[in-house]
Amino acid sequence: MTESTPNVYLIFGENEFVISQRVKALQDSLCDPGLAAMNVTRLDGKTTDLNTIKSITMAMPFLADRRVVILENPLA
């Protein structure tokens, strides 16, 4: 596996439906659906501490090229 630069996508706005659709489309394009349960993590900034966010984002992907970490409410 080769090391790559992480990509960060910032999606924000008032229309929660469009945001959820865009996040789903990105998730589907970045992660094999069969391995999504092991390589996609959804976090909420309201209830997750910074150390947990750091450790999850630094974790190696499982049988895939990358991990997908979705952080909702990042400024909370």
pLDDT in tens, 1-39: 566 667 888 999 999 999 999 999 988 888 888 888 899
> So what's the pLDDT on residue 3?
65
Report whether pLDDT(67) > 60.
Answer: yes
- Spatial neighbors of 6 by CB under 8 A, at least 6 apart, are 57
Measured in whole angstroms, the distance separating CA 76 from the mean position of its chain's CA atoms is 17
> So what's the pLDDT on residue 2?
61
Report whether pLDDT(57) > 60.
Answer: yes
Classify residue 27 as exposed, middle or buried by CB count within 10 Å of its CB (0-12, 13-18, 19+): middle
The top-scoring range by mean pLDDT among 28-37, 48-57, 60-69 is 48-57
> Among residues 66, 75, 13, which one has the least CA distance to residue 36?
66
Give the global pTM.
Answer: 0.79
> So what's the pLDDT on residue 37?
84
- Cα–Cα distance, 14 to 4 (Å, whole number): 32
- Cα–Cα distance, 27 to 23 (Å, whole number): 6
